[in-house]
Every structure is written in structure tokens, then in C-alpha cells.
Chain A
Amino acid sequence: MTQQPQIELVSVNKHYGGFHALKDISVTIAKGSFVALVGPSGCGKSTLLRSLAGLESITTGEIRITGETVNETPPRHRDVAMVFQSYALYPHMTVRENMSYSLRLKRVPKTKIDAAVAEAAKILGLEDYLDRKPNALSGGQRQRVAMGRAIIRNPKVFLFDEPLSNLDASLRVHMRKEIRALHERVGATSVYVTHDQIEAMTMADHVVVLKGGSVEQQGTPLSLYDMPATKFVAGFIGSPAMNFVSGEITGDGGSVLLDLPGRPILPLARQATPGRKVEAGLRPEHLSLAPPGVPAIETRASSVESTGSVTYLYCGGDPEIIVLSQEREPLSSGEPVRLTIAPENIHLFDPQTGLSIGQAAG
């Protein structure tokens, strides 16, 4: 039995006056999956989420939730719940009233409401705070109340609008796991907007990378990492970011000549058009110090930072190349280094279009 997708976006476009905010976006979201919309600020990810919620209207295209077109459906009839970046808790209501708000509006019997609140509070560890007002809660607790308000409704879809961006770093990592655990427990379809690629990579089953209002690439987190379709995705996914060096394919089509001091030539895993100008993408974690006799990038370490578990080497200057090594490299600043990379790990992009040339890992 083929399962009907929970959410379908078909060629969604949105114009704000002359500004084209969403450009022909098509995304299909399976029931029960966790989808991340990720991109830099202004890429349209929040607009897309708000269009799903019904808080924004779309200009053309179609939004379907469980097969039903909801373009004209007001938010309160879409059966979606949203966790806002600001949490948007009702400041004049206690935690209990905040969570039960939607059920009270539906005139659910009081005993059922109490049971639902108790259950949600238990899942989220809020039992002791039910009679407090939001301004007497910490950031993490407010975040939980916002989620409690969503799960108590048992909606078709959960929408998260950068829910962790107001928390400090350690709490963010913690809440990331909690949201993911909650998703596995509740099993509802979730759409999660973030500008943080790590959140997207660690939490989602399916990542949609947006840039300038259009979908740059979508797929599983690892497929985006392994096979970025564009230079933008390659640079956006992964931390520290991928190094980009301009260069040219050699005459035999089997190597790339890099635009670096010493004109290093690195072998490729497959054939490319001889003489073609390219941007080579080298992930910091794929670069390593070269043993003697191997074709390598000859440069100098400008600074060495060790966190104990990993070592960051900053090499050269124009462009700077970052190397991430699992070893404790016995290097100091200013020392010459030779860097190498496995041929299959070199990504090539067209300098004009930014599109990937072939697939590196393919």
C-alpha cells in the first residue's frame, strides 16, 4: 500500500508586491517524517512555513495537507500546530491555561482537558509549573510549554519556526534531542525551520535547503553532505565549511590544477572536460597531511588550534584552507605543510552557475 503524503507543496509561488519571496517550490512530505527547511536569513524558509500554517497566503501553486487543498483554508481549520520562535505564550494565562487553550475553545469536557494537560505535562516534565505564568519560567521551560500547547491538540502537522534560537548553546543541544525524542514518541509529521545546518542535519529525516526563495537541493542529510548539488549547498552543509579553490582541469582530464602557490595538481576519481575552469571543493575533514611522494598542496600553517579531540589547521592565506584533523598534529604556526585529499572526495563546481560537475562520490 502506498502511503499518501501528509503535505504536498506544488509549485508554490509568493510575491510581496514586486518581491518574489517563494519561487516555484515543490516539496513532498511523508506522514510521520521530520523535515527541516534550512537556509540563510531571507531565504524564504519562514515564509514557506507560515504559508503552510495559513498565516501567509500564496500567490500561485497549491498546498495540500492529507490530500486536501488548503490554499483558502484559514489557519484554525488546517489542524496544524506551530511553535513560534518567540514561543508566543499567552502572558496572562498560566501554563495550564496556555496548554489547554485550544481544547477549551473546542469546548472539550473539563475532565478530558485535565487528563490531556496532565499527560502533556508529564511528557515535557512541566508538572510542577502548571500554575505559573510564563514570565516566571526559564527559556527552556517556556520552550516546553510552547511544545505542550502544540502536542495537546494532536494535530496533523507540527510546525517549528526556529524554536531553539533564543536558547543558550548547551540548552539548545539538549532541546534538540528532546524535540527529536518527542517526535519519535508522538510520531506526527513535523516541519522544522532553522538557519542552523547542524540542527537540520541532526534532527531531520529530510532536509530542504532554500536560497533566495527557491529550493537549492533536498534529500536526506547525508546525501546533501556527500553529494551537494551546488556550491552553495556544499558550503552551507558541514562545519567548518568546505574550502573552495578555483582551478582548471588538466589536459588529460584526469586531474585538477589548483590556483594556489606552487600550482598543485591533484588527481580526480573520474574524467572531466580538459581545460575546463572549475571551483574545487575540499572538505576540511577530508584533507590530511600528505606522506612524502604524494601529489599535494604545498602551503604553510598560519595557525594551529587544538581542542584536544580535534586539531584545526589554518593554512595559506589566499584563499585560506582549513584542515580538520583527528590527530594531534605536532605543528606550529609558520611551518610548511603538505596537504592531500582522496581523489573521490574532491567536489567540482562550475564557477559561473555553481552547479556540481558530476557527483564527487559517484
Chain B
Amino acid sequence: MMKRLYSAVVDGKGFDILLVGLPLLFLITFSGLPLLYNVLMSFQEVDIFSLGSLIRPFVGLDNYRALLAQPEFWPIMWNTVIFVVCSIFGQFTLGFALALFFDAGFRGASFLRGLFLVSWVMPGLVVGAIWNWILSGDFGVLNYILRATGLISENIFWRSDTDFSLWAVIIANIWLGTAFNMILLSVGLAGIPKDLYEASELDGANVWQRFLTITIPMMRSTIGAVISLGLIFTLQQFDLFAAITSGGPANSSNVAQYWAWELSFRQYDFAKGATISTIMIITVMIAALLYVRSTRHEVRG
């Protein structure tokens, strides 16, 4: 028996199954089950005493109803939308601009491009700490620059002013994600054959027309992938909120992912935390679907 099992692993189909099975087991244990557990919890009544048990009173959509009834629900959802859209817009635009800039291939371009990745490899909490200094109301360098250039006349208290607190996190998040966007877009740009540009130049296209008729259509799948990944990463962004504003003041910079954590681990309302997470899971799944679809439509000559 053992011998047969051993020989199946060494030379038969068993090895293939082993190779597939190990990562699958890992995924089910550490991603699949917690995910399902989270969805289950969103339909249950959970309190601090029933935390240890799996079978708890089923309450249907009560948690969802209660959550929607909370006055801060819609403002926080709206904050999440602003945060996601503005972060992705900023990261993508700056990332694409930088990718095009480095694609010009001047001396040292690839070295500098590599340096940009430093911002991406840094932990979010560290980035948050750095931006706390930059955004600081009294002595922050951002206020200094804005004052020196005459854009503002008095200091903005970025982290404690309800009009600016969300933007403080967005700015930091754009800084954090731009490099990643740039690298992916650079790869996409490098994949466009140079002779296409030459052919279109001979066909009479100027720089702007070449960008619109060659670069953008050839980058379609890359752009789709970058934006979908951006959506996923932005919805996962937690560290910056923890480090910069803690969602405050008065929920002015609170977003779904941070609120879920707050509800679960600050207010010990695990059911509502799980409910928000479930709503986010659905959103991210849709983004992931879009991402997979966009990578499938690769166009290469």
C-alpha cells in the first residue's frame, strides 16, 4: 500500500495531483475558509460570548438592515468611493506619465525607474509616518511649499480638518501606488513594437495621434489590468488610515475597510464588521472578474 502510494507520487499522476493539491489546500485553509466564515457571520447574531462557537442564531439580513440604518453608513460609503476613484485616478495618471517619461530611454532611465519602486516596497505604516510629518499642520513641508508658492495664505490642518482629512490619506495613497502603476504600464509600453510607431509616423501621425491611435489601443489590456488591480489594492488600503487619520475626525476620513476593522475590533460588533467585509468581497470579486477578462483579450501582432 505505502509502496504503491510512493511509486504513484514518484512517477505517476500522483505527483501532478500533489503539486496542485498543496497550494489548493493552502488556499482553502487560509483564504477560502475564513472568507466563508466571514460571510456566514454576516448572517448571524454574534456577541463576545458566542465568539468561540460556529453555530449561532441565524438572523437573516438583520445585520445588513442595521448597518444601512446607521447614520454614518452612507457618508462612509461615499468616502470609500471618493477614496478609490481619486486614488486610482491619481496613481494611474502619474504612473502613466512617468512610464511614458522613462520610456523615452534617456541615460539612466531604467535606474531611476527602479528607484521609484522604493515608495512601493515601503510598508504602509512607514509611509503613513512619513506623510504625517509632511502633512503636519504646524511644521509640515507641504504647508510650507503651498504657502511659499502663494497657493494658501494660512496653514491647512490636513489630518484634523474634516474637509481635508480624507484627502490627506488619498495624497499618501497616490504616492504609495504610483510606482506600481508605473512599472506595470512600463511593461505594457515596452511590449509595443517600435516599428508600429515608425510606420504610423510615416503614415503621417503626429505625437498626439500616435499616442491616441497606437499607444492607447495597444495598451488596452494593460490599462484594464492596472485599473482593476488598483481597485483591489485601494480597497485593501488600511495601514495609511491607521497611521494618518484613524478614520477621523468624526468619520470624515473613514472608509469601508477601516470601518469594518473598527466595528469588529474596537466596538466588538463582529457581525457588522463581517457584513461590511462581505459587501467589499462582492465589490472586489467584480473587480477581479474585470481584471481576468481584460488580461484574456491580449492583442499582440
A residues in contact (CB < 8 Å) with B = 53-55, 74-76, 78, 80-82, 84, 86, 88-93, 101-102, 105-106, 134-135, 149, 153
Docked Cα-Cα span, A208 to B294, in Å, equals: 49
Compute how far the CA of A91 lies from the CA of B217 in the bound complex, rounded to whole angstroms: 9
Q: Closest A residue to B217 by CB, please name it.
A: A92
Is A76 touching B205 in the complex (CB atoms < 8 A)?
yes
Given A86-B195, A134-B301: A105 and B202 interface contact (C-beta under 8 Å)? no
Taking CB atoms and an 8 Å cut-off, the chain B residues in 184-236 that contact chain A are: 193, 195-196, 198-206, 209, 213-214, 217-218, 220
Kindly state the separation between the CA atoms of A135 and B299 in the bound complex, as whole angstroms.
9
A86-B195, A88-B193, A88-B196 given; A102·B301 CB < 8 A: no
Given contacts A88-B196, A105-B213, A134-B301, 16 further A-B contacts (CB under 8 A): A75-B202, A76-B203, A76-B206, A82-B202, A84-B195, A84-B198, A88-B193, A88-B198, A90-B199, A91-B218, A91-B300, A92-B217, A92-B299, A101-B200, A149-B203, A153-B203
Question: In the complex, what distance in Å separates the CA atom of A93 from the CA atom of B200?
Answer: 12
Q: Which residues of B contact A101 (CB under 8 A)?
A: 200, 203, 205, 213
Are the CB atoms of A88 and B199 closer together than 8 Å? yes
Complex CA–CA separation, A106 to B205 (angstroms): 9
A89 to B195, CA, bound (A): 9
Residue of A nearest to B192 (CB): A91
A55 touches B198 (CB 8 A): yes
Of the candidates B203, B204, B213, B301, the one having the most CB atoms from chain A within 10 angstroms of its own CB is B203
> What are the residues of chain A within 8 A of B196 when measuring CB–CB?
88, 90
User: CA A90 – CA B200 in complex, angstroms?
Assistant: 9
Residues of A within 8 A of B193 (CB): 86, 88
The 9 closest A-B pairs by CB, nearest first: A91-B301, A102-B203, A88-B195, A88-B199, A92-B217, A76-B204, A75-B201, A105-B204, A75-B202
Residues of chain B contacted by A92 (CB below 8 angstroms): 217-218, 220, 299
Q: Which residue of B lies closest to A97 (CB)?
A: B213
On whether the beta carbons of A90 and B214 are closer than 8 Å, the reply is: yes
**How many A-B contacts if CB must be within 8 Å?**
66
Distance between Cα atoms of A92 and B200 in the complex (Å): 13
Are B202's CB and A80's CB within 8 A? yes
- Of B199, B218, B300, which contacts A84 at CB under 8 A? B199
Contacts of A135 in B (CB 8 A): 300-301
A337 to chain B, nearest CB (A): 51
A284 to chain B, nearest CB (A): 39
Residue of B nearest to A89 (CB): B301
Chain B nearest CB from A160 CB (Å) reads 13
Q: How far is the CA of A54 from the CA of B199 in the complex (A)?
A: 11
For B214, the closest partner residue in chain A by CB is A90
Taking the closest CB of chain A, its distance from the CB of B296, in whole angstroms, is: 15
* Contact assessment for A76 and B218 in the assembled complex, using a CB-CB cutoff below 8 Å: no
Interface flags, B9-37, vs A, CB<8A=1, else 0: 00000000000000000000000000000
Q: Roughly how many angstroms separate A92 CA and B199 CA in the complex, as a whole number?
A: 14
| Best-buried of B200, B204, B217 by chain A (most CB within 10 Å) | B204
A134 to B198, CA, bound (A): 18
Determine which residue in A86, A106, A134, A149 has the highest number of CB atoms from chain B within 10 A of its CB, and name it: A86
Give the docked Cα–Cα distance between A14 and B301 (Å): 32
Q: Which residue of B lies closest to A161 (CB)?
A: B195
Contacts of A81 in B (CB 8 A): 202-203
Name the B residues within 8 Å of A75 (CB-CB).
198, 201-202
Closest B residue by C-beta to A78? B202
Q: Contact: B218 with A105, CB < 8 Å?
A: no
Whether the pair A106, B199 counts as a contact (CB closer than 8 A) is no
CB closest chain-A residue, reference B197: A88
Query: Are A76's CB and B201's CB within 8 A?
Result: yes
A347 to B144 CA separation, bound complex (whole angstroms): 84
Distance of A92 Cα from B298 Cα, bound (Å): 10
Please, which residues of chain B bring their CB within 8 A of the CB of A55?
A: 198, 201-202
Chain A hits for B195, CB < 8 A: 84, 86, 88
- Give Cα distance in the complex from A8 to B300, angstroms: 38
Chain B positions within 8 Å of A89 at CB level: 301
How far is B203's CA from A134's CA once the two chains are assembled, in angstroms? 18
5 contacts between A and B (CB under 8 A): A54-B202, A74-B201, A84-B199, A90-B196, A101-B213
Complex interface: chain A residues within 8 A of B217 (CB): 92-93
B246 to chain A, nearest CB (A): 47
Point out the residues of chain B lying under 8 angstroms from A88, CB to CB: 193, 195-196, 198-199
Please give me the residue from chain B that is nearest to A55 by CB atom: B198
**A91 partner residues in chain B, CB cutoff 8 A:** 218, 299-301
Q: Specify the chain A residue showing the minimal Cβ separation from B195.
A: A88
B204 engages A82 (CB within 8 Å): no
CA–CA, A123 and B95, complex, Å: 46
Chain A hits for B202, CB < 8 A: 53-55, 75-76, 78, 80-82
Question: In the complex the two chains form, what is the Cα distance from A75 to B220 in whole Å?
Answer: 27
Closest approach, in angstroms, between the C-beta of B144 and any C-beta of chain A? 44
How far is the CB of A8 from the nearest CB of chain B, in Å?
20
* Residues of the A chain whose Cβ atoms lie less than 8 Å from the Cβ of B220: 92
* Distance in Å: Cβ of B277 to nearest Cβ of chain A: 39
The minimal Cβ–Cβ distance linking A153 to chain B, given in whole angstroms, is: 7
Task: Name the B residues within 8 Å of A90 (CB-CB).
Answer: 196, 199-200, 213-214
Partner of A82, one of B199, B213, B301: B199
Cα A89 to Cα B200 in complex, Å, equals 9
- Look across to chain A and name the residue whose beta carbon is closest to the beta carbon of B201: A75
Using known A-B contacts A84-B195, A90-B214, A91-B299, determine if residue A106 contacts B204 with beta carbons closer than 8 Å: yes
